[in-house]
Chains A and B, each alone.
Chain A
Amino acid sequence: MAGLASPLRVCRGILKELRAMQGPSYKRSLAYSYVMDQFRKNKVTGERYCRAQQEALHASHTYLCLLASTRSHQALHNLYHAKGECSTEEAAGLVGLRLPTQPGGKGWEK
């Protein structure tokens, strides 16, 4: 179907995702060495349409999609769905009310 992005872009994308996931020490991770290895191995080919190369490119594109979408999904989850229930003070504050206070303490409190 439509042409896949070039290997360089996919490789850069994967490295960006790994760096976002693991911080500055991403170069020491397993995934980094494996990905770089695979990209180097598949760079040179004698055929004009090398099936292994296309397969590897599709696989790398899929992996990039996996990393990017899990990160985006997690970010959206934290942004919109992670807060949980708010306390009674916050719930009252939503409509501009405050919780009632009883200066002498409630009847059953000391």
Chain B
Amino acid sequence: MNMFRRVFQLRNSFGNVISVCKSCPSHQYSKCLSKYSTASTERKRFYQDVSISQGDDGLYEINLDRRKLKTPGGKLFTVPNEALAIAVATEWDAQRGTLKFYTMHLTTLCNTALDNPTQRNKEQMINSALKFLETDTICYRVEDPPGLVDLQKNEWDPVLHWIENRYNVTIGSSSSILGPEIPQATKETFRQHLNSYSLWSLTGLEFVISQLKSILLSLGMVDRYLTVEQAVLLSRLEEEYQISHWGNVEWAHDYDMYELRARTAAGALFIQLSSENLTVKHKIMQD
């Protein structure tokens, strides 16, 4: 049998760099197993059971039948807590027929956090998050139509004030093309707050911010002031206004909304699970 060796790097639809494994010269008959192949070839579900196991270092791994799941970068797929592991396992278990990676949002987030393909560090992530503040969705107001102006005032102002109170900052909204003037003290407060997040939580937060196009809505959701549905609604406020005026198109509006909800929910869950310390205090019953 002819032995062949191909080493090439592909960009999948998520923009992550995947490496295809090199065929081992020691094997007579070798097949390249690429778990995250391109869109042209569809991977079928090749496993029956999905289970989780805990390694020696306390990190949880996912097992597809006998094989351990690996990231696209080739590292072993590990998560710090059981809840996240179970959620990822459920994603893999939900695949029917072909593997649809665009539905496995938590897996994608874990892969990004583990591989860090763009080599970002905490400071870069915090800087890019703070850059969103100047053109934050809920600070950027329109001047007409008046219905939309009122809607923005009624829906976005409460969130703005809540954030301002919670973090003790001033932000303000503006309808000029330049956006609001954010004082430096505000940025410093947020920078300090974001510094307390771990790298994993920041990965999730960056994802959520890029989906909702707003750092303030993301923080409101992470701080449990907003639910995912509320945050998505506020992010799409102008679209919802136009839908109420002109009608809903299911294959575009609903499709986008559900996708946005799914991604935002995955991001929010990822942040929460990456940053929680689970301790249960039991009260001792006193007779």
Number of chain B residues close to chain A: CB under 8 A: 41
A80 near B255 with CB under 8 A, answer yes
Stretch at the interface among B20-28, B31-39, B66-74, B86-94: B86-94
Contact pick for A73, options B52, B82, B106, B258, CB 8 Å:
B258
Alpha-carbon distance between A30 and B90 when the two chains are bound, in angstroms: 8
Q: Count chain A CB atoms within 10 A of each CB in B50, B105, B266 and give the residue with the most.
A: B266
B90 near A46 with CB under 8 A, answer no
Measured CB to CB, the closest approach of chain B to A16, in angstroms, equals 14
- Name the interface residues of A30-69: CB closer than 8 Å to any CB of B: 30-31, 34, 41, 46, 52, 54-55, 58-59, 61-63, 65-66, 69
Alpha-carbon distance between A88 and B243 when the two chains are bound, in angstroms: 36
B224 near A76 with CB under 8 A, answer no
Contact pick for B262, options A18, A22, A73, CB 8 Å:
A73
Per DSSP, are chain A's interface residues mostly helix, strand or loop, or mixed?
helix
Number of chain A residues close to chain B: CB under 8 A: 32
Alpha-carbon distance between A76 and B51 when the two chains are bound, in angstroms: 29
- Name the interface residues of B42-72: CB closer than 8 Å to any CB of A: 50-52
A34 near B229 with CB under 8 A, answer no
B261 is an interface residue with CB less than 8 A from chain A: yes
Q: Given contacts A1-B226, A73-B255, are A62 and B265 in contact (CB under 8 A)?
A: yes
Alpha-carbon distance between A31 and B85 when the two chains are bound, in angstroms: 10
Residues in A whose Cβ lies below 8 Å from that of B82: 34
Which B residues are closer than 8 A to A by beta carbons? Answer: 50-52, 82-83, 86-87, 89-90, 93-94, 100, 103, 105-106, 158, 162, 224-230, 250-251, 254-255, 258-259, 261-262, 265-266, 268-269, 272-273, 276, 280, 283
Could you jot down 8 A-B contacts, CB within 8 Å?
Answer: A4-B227, A30-B50, A30-B51, A62-B265, A62-B269, A63-B265, A65-B228, A76-B254
